[in-house]
Amino acid sequence: MTSAPTAVQTPGFWTPLFTAWLVSLLATAGALFLGEVVGMAPCVLCWYQRIAMFPLVLILGLGLLDSDLRSVRYAWPLALAGWALAFYHCLVFWGLVTESLVPCGKGPSCADTDLQVAGLVPIPLLSLVAFTGVLLLLGAAVRRREKA
Protein backbone atom coordinates (compact mmCIF):
# COMPACT_ATOMS: atom_id res chain seq x y z
CA MET A 1 0.00 0.00 0.00
CA THR A 2 1.53 3.29 -1.07
CA SER A 3 0.74 6.02 1.39
CA ALA A 4 -0.14 9.43 0.13
CA PRO A 5 1.66 12.16 2.06
CA THR A 6 -1.51 13.28 3.90
CA ALA A 7 -3.14 9.86 4.45
CA VAL A 8 -2.45 8.14 7.74
CA GLN A 9 -1.21 4.63 7.15
CA THR A 10 -3.32 1.83 8.60
CA PRO A 11 -1.67 0.84 11.88
CA GLY A 12 -0.80 -2.81 12.36
CA PHE A 13 -3.26 -3.27 15.18
CA TRP A 14 -6.21 -2.17 13.05
CA THR A 15 -6.97 -5.55 11.46
CA PRO A 16 -7.13 -7.57 14.71
CA LEU A 17 -9.10 -4.75 16.32
CA PHE A 18 -11.50 -4.77 13.38
CA THR A 19 -11.88 -8.55 13.59
CA ALA A 20 -12.56 -8.39 17.34
CA TRP A 21 -15.21 -5.75 16.67
CA LEU A 22 -16.71 -7.87 13.88
CA VAL A 23 -16.97 -10.86 16.25
CA SER A 24 -18.77 -8.74 18.85
CA LEU A 25 -21.04 -7.24 16.18
CA LEU A 26 -22.04 -10.66 14.86
CA ALA A 27 -22.53 -12.01 18.39
CA THR A 28 -24.73 -9.03 19.27
CA ALA A 29 -26.78 -9.36 16.09
CA GLY A 30 -27.10 -13.10 16.67
CA ALA A 31 -28.21 -12.67 20.30
CA LEU A 32 -30.79 -10.08 19.28
CA PHE A 33 -32.02 -12.30 16.46
CA LEU A 34 -32.48 -15.30 18.73
CA GLY A 35 -34.12 -13.21 21.44
CA GLU A 36 -36.33 -10.84 19.45
CA VAL A 37 -37.06 -12.71 16.22
CA VAL A 38 -36.90 -16.39 17.06
CA GLY A 39 -38.42 -15.60 20.44
CA MET A 40 -36.01 -17.47 22.70
CA ALA A 41 -36.23 -15.54 25.96
CA PRO A 42 -32.75 -15.00 27.41
CA CYS A 43 -32.06 -16.68 30.75
CA VAL A 44 -30.35 -14.78 33.56
CA LEU A 45 -26.82 -15.86 32.61
CA CYS A 46 -27.54 -14.98 28.98
CA TRP A 47 -28.50 -11.48 30.08
CA TYR A 48 -25.23 -11.01 31.97
CA GLN A 49 -23.28 -12.12 28.92
CA ARG A 50 -25.27 -9.69 26.79
CA ILE A 51 -24.34 -6.91 29.20
CA ALA A 52 -20.69 -7.73 28.54
CA MET A 53 -21.01 -8.25 24.79
CA PHE A 54 -23.22 -5.40 23.54
CA PRO A 55 -20.98 -2.50 24.69
CA LEU A 56 -17.99 -4.07 22.91
CA VAL A 57 -19.61 -3.14 19.59
CA LEU A 58 -19.64 0.53 20.56
CA ILE A 59 -16.30 0.70 22.38
CA LEU A 60 -14.33 -1.20 19.72
CA GLY A 61 -16.29 0.48 16.92
CA LEU A 62 -15.31 3.94 18.17
CA GLY A 63 -11.74 2.72 18.59
CA LEU A 64 -11.73 1.60 14.97
CA LEU A 65 -12.99 4.91 13.62
CA ASP A 66 -10.15 6.82 15.28
CA SER A 67 -7.62 3.96 15.12
CA ASP A 68 -7.50 4.35 18.88
CA LEU A 69 -5.77 1.42 20.58
CA ARG A 70 -6.89 2.68 23.99
CA SER A 71 -10.30 1.22 23.21
CA VAL A 72 -8.72 -2.17 23.98
CA ARG A 73 -8.04 -1.01 27.52
CA TYR A 74 -11.74 -0.29 28.04
CA ALA A 75 -12.93 -3.38 26.20
CA TRP A 76 -10.88 -6.18 27.69
CA PRO A 77 -12.38 -6.16 31.21
CA LEU A 78 -15.85 -6.54 29.65
CA ALA A 79 -14.62 -9.31 27.38
CA LEU A 80 -12.98 -11.12 30.30
CA ALA A 81 -16.10 -10.84 32.45
CA GLY A 82 -18.21 -12.12 29.57
CA TRP A 83 -15.77 -14.98 29.00
CA ALA A 84 -15.99 -16.02 32.66
CA LEU A 85 -19.80 -15.92 32.56
CA ALA A 86 -19.91 -17.89 29.33
CA PHE A 87 -17.51 -20.48 30.77
CA TYR A 88 -19.69 -20.83 33.86
CA HIS A 89 -22.79 -21.05 31.68
CA CYS A 90 -21.24 -23.89 29.67
CA LEU A 91 -20.55 -25.78 32.90
CA VAL A 92 -24.18 -25.29 33.88
CA PHE A 93 -25.39 -26.32 30.44
CA TRP A 94 -23.43 -29.56 30.41
CA GLY A 95 -24.45 -30.33 33.99
CA LEU A 96 -20.95 -30.02 35.42
CA VAL A 97 -22.32 -27.52 37.94
CA THR A 98 -25.33 -28.88 39.75
CA GLU A 99 -28.74 -27.37 39.19
CA SER A 100 -29.04 -26.08 42.76
CA LEU A 101 -26.12 -23.72 42.22
CA VAL A 102 -27.67 -22.16 39.14
CA PRO A 103 -28.79 -18.62 39.87
CA CYS A 104 -31.83 -18.89 37.63
CA GLY A 105 -34.88 -18.00 39.65
CA LYS A 106 -37.03 -16.42 37.00
CA GLY A 107 -37.30 -16.87 33.28
CA PRO A 108 -36.10 -19.82 31.28
CA SER A 109 -33.63 -22.28 32.76
CA CYS A 110 -29.99 -21.68 31.95
CA ALA A 111 -29.44 -25.44 31.77
CA ASP A 112 -32.25 -26.03 29.31
CA THR A 113 -31.33 -28.09 26.25
CA ASP A 114 -33.50 -25.69 24.24
CA LEU A 115 -30.57 -23.30 24.35
CA GLN A 116 -29.31 -24.60 21.04
CA VAL A 117 -29.14 -23.14 17.58
CA ALA A 118 -30.68 -25.47 15.01
CA GLY A 119 -30.74 -28.15 17.70
CA LEU A 120 -27.00 -28.53 17.39
CA VAL A 121 -24.78 -25.84 18.84
CA PRO A 122 -25.42 -24.73 22.42
CA ILE A 123 -25.73 -20.95 22.71
CA PRO A 124 -23.43 -20.77 25.78
CA LEU A 125 -20.70 -22.44 23.70
CA LEU A 126 -21.18 -19.89 20.91
CA SER A 127 -20.86 -17.16 23.51
CA LEU A 128 -17.69 -18.70 24.94
CA VAL A 129 -16.16 -18.98 21.46
CA ALA A 130 -17.05 -15.35 20.71
CA PHE A 131 -15.59 -13.99 23.95
CA THR A 132 -12.46 -16.16 23.51
CA GLY A 133 -12.07 -14.78 19.99
CA VAL A 134 -12.47 -11.20 21.15
CA LEU A 135 -9.88 -11.66 23.93
CA LEU A 136 -7.32 -13.30 21.63
CA LEU A 137 -7.81 -10.64 18.95
CA LEU A 138 -7.49 -7.81 21.46
CA GLY A 139 -4.27 -9.43 22.68
CA ALA A 140 -3.03 -9.65 19.10
CA ALA A 141 -3.84 -5.98 18.56
CA VAL A 142 -1.78 -4.96 21.58
CA ARG A 143 1.15 -7.20 20.54
CA ARG A 144 1.22 -5.72 17.04
CA ARG A 145 1.39 -2.29 18.51
CA GLU A 146 4.32 -3.29 20.72
CA LYS A 147 6.21 -4.73 17.76
CA ALA A 148 5.70 -1.64 15.70
Partner 1 sequence: MSRKWIVLSTIIAVALAFAAGLMVFKNRSGQELAKSVQTHSEALIRPHAAVYGNPAAKVTIVEFLDPACETCRAFYPIVKSIVNQSFGNVRLVVRYAPLHRGSDTAVKILEAVRLQGKYWEAVEKAMAFQPQWASHDSPQPEVIWELIADIGLDMAKAKADASGPAVAQILKQDITDMQTLKVDRTPGFFVNGTPLRDFGAEQLKSLVAQELSKVGAPAQP
Which residues make up the interface to partner 1 (CB under 8 A)? Answer: 10, 14, 18, 21-22, 25-26, 29, 32-33, 37-39, 61, 64-65, 67
Minimum Å distance from CB 11 to partner 1? 10
Supply the minimum distance, in Å, between the C-beta of residue 96 and partner 1: 31
- Please state the closest distance from residue 47 (CB atom) to partner 1, in A: 16
For residues 21 and 131, which CB has a smaller minimum distance to partner 1 in the complex? 21
Q: Which is nearer to partner 1, 4 or 96 (CB)?
A: 4
- Long-range pairs for 89-94: beta carbons < 8 A, 24 or more residues apart: 89/45, 89/46, 89/49, 89/124, 89/127, 89/128, 90/122, 90/124, 90/125, 90/128, 92/45, 92/124, 93/122, 93/124, 93/125
CA distance 37 to 39: 5
Name which of 91 and 140 has its Cβ closer to partner 1. 140
CA distance 62 to 21: 10
Please say which residue, 32 or 51, places its beta carbon nearer to partner 1: 32
Query: In the bound complex, what is the minimum distance in angstroms from residue 75's beta carbon to partner 1?
Result: 15
